[in-house]
Structure 1
């Protein structure tokens, strides 16, 4: 496996790098959902096109990481599916979806993996858990009522990528998430409890979240049934990657 990139996800994927030949992992792209830099988008587009050309010539499989966030799934009502309509709500989502279409229209073999909010050691500070934990530590958290986040442990992501590649799955798109989106308020409450800090909550305008369907993932990787995905899964993920605070936790949770 040739891993292109040196960031958070690339670092964790090195654990399976020796297990899959003829696979190229594009793990050097834009990873911030709030990203709007056209220069960064252009760099990722150029990289993906270069890797597609390589894979078309060599017969290698390209693994491209997209997003299952509201950047892609932005119409609530029914969970977002890989073969259903998408309505990208952000510049980041439109960029990722455009690259998905380029990958899917190429002659190369590929896996497009739409990721939930991945959590793990050595994350950059702009990603969800480090950013929320920093807000809590600062004493003030910005809340968007209605926002929900589907958290998934990076260790489970690596296991899923490993299983998908071992199965021979190709020329397909797969949601890689827990399938359970948690209200942001519950996530912040658990972070506060874990850190032993009660932050002030500042409310912004309401937002909406579309759930993520993982039926295809469960079909392709039956072992996900043993990963503990469900309504309480996020608590274990947060506990694994947040240091415990003072005994007794915060005095109160801001309303």
Structure 2
């Protein structure tokens, strides 16, 4: 595959890149869910336009990463599903949904994956777990009351991507997540346990809680049954992340 980008997801895809020579992966978009910079959004839209046009010309499939996080499904009544209309509730969600529509209108062969919160070594410092680790180590952690997040190991995401690309899917949107909305307080509990320290908790009444539906993912990728998705799935990946942080500090 041709991978456009050199960030967290792009690096993680390298082990399977040679298996899919007719796929182009756009992994160079806006990764900051709280971002609102119009210039960044415009840059990604222009890049998608050029890449989709090239894929249409060459007959290759374009893999595009969207979001299944709060920005997309935060206002949904019930689990967030790919086959139901959504009303995004953040600028980032509005942007990603607009790009999905842009890609559909391009008539390029494509697959859209709406991602949960990826966790793994080397992820951007502004994302959830690195941010919580910094705050815990500084002694003060901010928690949005009632907030919950769907965490998924980046290694499991690559397994899922591999299985999906091996199928003849075109024009599909698939949620890629664990299907579990984990309260942020529990994530902090687990990080504190792994880091061996605790922090004062400061609560804000701005939390959101939604569940990402993964029925379609399970149907398309039966191997997900072996990945351990369930209420305690997050514990393993948070423990692994904390262990990586501790090991890096000790070295």
TM-score (ref. length: structure 1): 0.94
Identify if the C-alpha distance between structure 1 residues 176 and 244 changes in structure 2 by more than 3 Å, giving closer, same or farther. closer
For structure 1, the 5+ residue unaligned runs are: 247-255
Question: Aligned equivalents of 1:115 and 1:244: distance in 2?
Answer: 23
Q: Aligned equivalents of 1:119 and 1:237: distance in 2?
A: 7
Distance 2:198 2:17 in 1: 42
Label 1:194 to 1:43 Cα distance change in 2 as closer, same or farther (>3 A): same
Q: CA deviation at 1:198?
A: 1.1
Q: Distance in 2 between matches of 1:76 and 1:105?
A: 25
Q: Which has the higher helix share?
A: 2
Aligned length: 246
Question: 1:205: Cα distance to partner?
Answer: 1.2
Contact 1:114 1:176 in 2 (8 A): yes
Task: Quickly say closer, same or farther: Cα 1:18–1:191, change in 2 above 3 A.
Answer: same
CA RMSD of aligned residues (A): 1.3
Report what 2:95 is aligned to: 95
Q: 2:198 aligns to what?
A: 198
Alpha-carbon offset, residue 106 of structure 1: 2.1
Contact kept? 1:76, 1:208, Cα under 8 Å: no
Residue 29 (structure 1) aligns with: 29
Say if 2:73 is the partner of 1:73. Answer: yes
Residues in 1 aligned to 2:77 and 2:92: alpha-carbon distance in whole angstroms:
22
Provide the C-alpha distance between the structure 2 equivalents of 1:206 and 1:62, rounded to a whole number of angstroms.
36
- The answer as to whether partners of 2:76 and 2:87 remain within 8 angstroms in 1 is no
Q: Which moved more, 1:6-15 or 1:70-79?
A: 70-79
Mapped pair 1:109 → 2:109: yes
TM-score, with structure 2 as normaliser:
0.95
Q: Find the aligned partners of 1:126 and 1:245 in 2 and give their Cα distance.
A: 15
Alignment of 1:145-184 (within 5 A): 145-184=145-184
Structure 2: give runs of 5+ residues left out of the alignment: 247-251
Q: Which residue of 1 aligns with 2:55?
A: 55
CA distance in 1, matches of 2:199, 2:152: 25
